[in-house]
Amino acid sequence: MNIALSGYGKMGRLIEKMAVERGHTITTIIDPYSPSTHNKELSKDTLTGADVVIDFSIPSAAVGNIRKIAEAGKNIVVGTTGWYEEMETVQKITESSGIGLIWSGNFSTGVNLFFKIAQYASSLFNLFTEYDPFIHEYHHNQKADSPSGTASMLGTIVLKEMERKKRIITESLKRKIEPEELHITSTRGGSIPGTHILSFDSPVDTIELKHTARGREGFASGAVAAAQWIADKKGLFSIDDMMKDILKGV
């Protein structure tokens, strides 16, 4: 495939390396802040020749980038987080342009298998009201958003499977948490690639599901795999759609 990269931070550089190792061609690298990129602006001209664009930019630029890439008629992998409140807008952009877009807060295969385990566990604990779920995540001190996109996706899974939980709370609480609230908390510090813990606590025990990333390689590898998956598709997809496709029959 011919892949264009939007965003050339640590993830962009790693995706470039992995894509080339898998035999793909990087047609252009676009980043307004990096001195070592080919172009500063997304446009039809700068995206010429690309089959798919992989976007790992910044939250404030995500929807604008999606719009420009869609106008160029290119399918998109969106790994940028922090824009999900504008999902309806992105769906309209995707439908009106006729492109294919796949998004995720985390493209790591391991994390998405972790999501499947969390989904099943949450459905079990839904039947046992003495267990109360909560989520905590750790990331490096350069991460731009909080909570992480992965933690938000994990929270959405819990809400879907556990009827007694109705809404997510992410701020520091100065009050007693309500029974229907799911608390997601975050820590930022050091160089932690990403750790997510889903806990189910009862008066007599605690059960924890934990995913610890050793580096960014899993995220980059999954993003390249997602580019291959979305290349011939039209419409808005999440990583869950891709995993269902891969795991069908399992």
Q: Give the CATH number for residue 8.
A: 3.40.50.720
Distance of CA 116 to the CA centre of its chain: 15
Q: What percent of the chain has pLDDT over 90?
A: 90
For residues 134 and 184, give the distance between their C-alpha atoms in angstroms, rounded to a whole number: 6
| Position 165 pLDDT exceeds 90 | yes
Q: What is the pLDDT of residues 196-250, one digit of tens each?
A: 999 999 999 999 999 999 988 999 999 999 999 999 999 999 999 999 999 986 7
Q: How many helices (H) and strands (E) does the chain have?
A: 7, 11
Segments forming the whole domain that contains residue 239: 2-107+216-247
**CATH number, position 149:** 3.30.360.10
- Asked whether residue 73 falls in the same domain as residue 191, the answer is no
Cα pseudo-dihedral 95, 99, 100, 104, rounded to 10? -70
Describe the chain by its helix, strand, coil percentages, rounded to 5: 35, 25, 40
Q: Which of 59, 65, 68 is nearest to 97 (CA)?
A: 68
For 116-144, what is the mean pLDDT?
96
- Asked whether residue 122 falls in the same domain as residue 103, the answer is no
Structure tokens at 138: 């750790």
| Position 95 pLDDT exceeds 90 | yes
Q: What is the largest CA-CA distance in the chain?
A: 62
Give me the phi and psi of 187, to 5 degrees please.
-130, 135
Give me the phi and psi of 45, to 5 degrees please.
-70, -45
Q: What is the mean pLDDT of the chain?
A: 95
- Asked whether residue 118 falls in the same domain as residue 200, the answer is yes
- Asked whether residue 70 falls in the same domain as residue 125, the answer is no
Q: What is the pLDDT of residues 166-176, one digit of tens each?
A: 999 999 999 99
**Omega into 147 within 30° of 0, i.e. cis?**
yes
- Asked whether residue 114 falls in the same domain as residue 82, the answer is no
Residue 174's pLDDT is what? 92
Q: Which amino acid is at 141?
A: N
| Positions marked catalytic | 139, 143
Count of structural domains within the chain: 2
| Position 119 pLDDT exceeds 90 | yes
For 136-142, what is the mean pLDDT?
96
Instruction: Find out whether 74 and 55 touch, Cβ atoms under 8 Å.
Output: no
- Asked whether residue 202 falls in the same domain as residue 117, the answer is yes
For 170-197, what is the mean pLDDT?
96
- Asked whether residue 101 falls in the same domain as residue 180, the answer is no
- Asked whether residue 233 falls in the same domain as residue 200, the answer is no
- Exposed / middle / buried, residue 216 (Cβ in 10 Å: 0-12, 13-18, 19+): middle
- Asked whether residue 14 falls in the same domain as residue 88, the answer is yes
- Asked whether residue 98 falls in the same domain as residue 114, the answer is no
- Asked whether residue 68 falls in the same domain as residue 165, the answer is no
Give me the phi and psi of 185, to 5 degrees please.
-120, 160
| Position 25 pLDDT exceeds 80 | yes
Residue 70's pLDDT is what? 98
